[in-house]
Chain A
């Protein structure tokens, strides 16, 4: 149990276009999901916290108008990279919080975004 999926697993888009990435908790409900970004040979950097039914909370330095997050249901959060540029090329990973006495985080497999 506690499986998180992401779609697509990889995407290539042209500069200036927008890309939507989906994150789903397949066998549990998650009121809170997180979005991370990871550049090559670096650690995960938290971008934002997504709460079902409310606005996302963005980390300092992350442009909320560029990275739109929607958490419309207890099993789905989406990240839309608007007007993508080559510097947005990265590995995007989501996670969902599951309460089992304590809160555990389960991560999706990640989405590789390449902007040409």
Chain B
């Protein structure tokens, strides 16, 4: 699986958009970008995933650059409950392969 790089921490004001970057310069053509988050002392929660097109669901938007070497997770209106560690993972999506977690980004949403 391709390695990802994320900033260790970010702050965001409540109600503003939170933009979390992820670099995955060695991503392969058949690898998807997955985002999860982990609120303190809970299991990770699936957020969104994509291959090359931008994706949006009820939780977030995922923007993938054209060369697919980086992506950005966007939480459009961050709330205090969005404070968590966010993990960007790259892996093949067509098999039930394992996910390798890096250190993630600790997002702190402030009032």
Binding site for B on A (CB under 8 A): 2, 4, 6, 31-32, 34, 36, 43-46, 49, 91, 93, 95, 97, 99, 102-110, 112
Contacts and interface: CB of A to CB of B under 8 A. Distances in A.
Contact of B98 (A34, A108, A110): A34
Contact of B96 (A91, A103, A110): A103
Contacts, number: 59
Interface in B11-63: 32, 34, 36, 38, 41-46, 49
A103 B93 contact: yes
7 contacts: A43-B101, A102-B49, A103-B95, A104-B46, A104-B49, A105-B99, A108-B43
B100 interface: yes
* Interface size grouping (class) on chain B: 20 to 34
B96 A93 contact: no
Nearest to A45: B101
A116 B56 CA distance: 46
B43 A110 contact: yes
A46 B98 contact: yes
A113 to B, nearest CB: 13
Contacts of A45: 101
